[in-house]
Structure 1
């Protein structure tokens, strides 16, 4: 894929697949963190993702706060994307490589999303002191993730240092766990 048209098409395909996966992983995270479903943003995410998640929900019904259908849909979109990339580039990827590539991408999206949600929440906590339902979603998404870190590291001198430790753990998980899976997948090429 050397021509600019081919590169533009590949970029567009990657953008669309990435956006769909992002929204599906966000849906999973919204449910996992018990974010208020009455929030306008949350209702929009649910409405947009329902058509994609419904077929998966028939096989993988939601259990408590875990929306496995959203993750399965995101994984399937990534699998299709990898297959399509292989087809467009005339490369034959094995099933193990396709599945491991999809797994690493979904894990990276999830961990990147949590990382950026924590960063956004930190910035918003400095800038916005009053209650705003549209911004409150960031607190709702990050509070359950930060809670274990806050129990280990109580606030010191009025500063909550737990987000720094959470970010450190997230990035180490990406490097050690996701990186190891990706490195193993590369041996299959």
Structure 2
């Protein structure tokens, strides 16, 4: 594709595929942390991700509480999106191993980002005293609680000031910096 049309096409493909991967990841994480199922946001995510997951679940069983069909769907959608972007940018043949490794590393990075941004948004919302019955706020609380709870045990509230989000953000960013580069190197080694 020529350069003039390639950039908008890459942007569009990337945006659509990334948003769908994010929707599946959020559904997966909400299931994992047992967030409120009947929340309107949860129901929206269920509706847009249910058709392909219904098909995949016939062949891919869950392992305990882990929805492996959702993981396979995220990987497949990410790989397809990366492949289409690569082709739109004028790339040639690309191996399935490279796509799989790259997609897996990107999904791990996206998972860290979801928790980091959820904690930041929840902290900002706490400054403006949000409605605790707001569907978005309750999902954020459900999602971030497994990360914030251990931090609250380490550092209790100091005079009404909760530093657990700060500790969680530092810890998540530290883990992301520690984990992503070796995963990236491992993905590169396994593809050759």
Matched, 1:41 2:41: yes
Which deviates more from structure 2 when the two are superposed, residues 73-82 or residues 148-157? 148-157
Question: What residue is the counterpart of 1:156 in the other structure?
Answer: 158
Q: Distance in 2 between matches of 1:174 and 1:59?
A: 32
Deviation per residue, 1:51-110 (Å, 9 max, x gap): 121122223333454222222111111111223334332333333321110001111111
Answering whether residue 180 of structure 2 is matched by residue 178 of structure 1, we say yes
CA contact (8 A) 2:14 2:85 kept: no
Q: Which runs of 5+ in 2 are unaligned?
A: none
CA deviations 1:114-160 (Å, max 9, x no partner) are: 11111111111221254323122211111122112222222222222
Quote the Cα distance in structure 1 between the aligned partners of 2:39 and 2:62. 20
**CA root-mean-square deviation:** 2.1
Answer whether contact 2:78 2:103 (CA < 8 A) is retained: yes
How far does residue 169 in structure 1 lie from its aligned partner after superposition?
1.9
Which of 152, 164, 167 does residue 169 from structure 2 map onto? 167
Partner of 2:95: 94
Measured in 2, the distance between the counterparts of 1:61 and 1:182 equals: 28
Q: Aligned match of 2:147 in 145, 148, 153?
A: 145
Name the CA shift for 1:78/1:132 in 2 (closer, same or farther; >3 Å): same
The separation in 2 between residues aligned to 1:21 and 1:165, in whole angstroms, is 28
CA contact (8 A) 2:33 2:146 kept: yes
- Please name the residue that 2:69 is paired with: 69
CA drift at 1:21: 0.5
Mean CA deviation greater in 4-13 or 120-129: 120-129
Alpha-carbon shift at residue 182 of structure 1 (Å): 2.2
> How many corresponding residue pairs?
189
Choose 57-66 or 151-160, whichever is displaced more: 57-66
Residue 112 of structure 1 and its aligned partner are, at CA, apart by: 0.6
User: Partners of 1:82 and 1:35 in 2: how far apart?
Assistant: 30
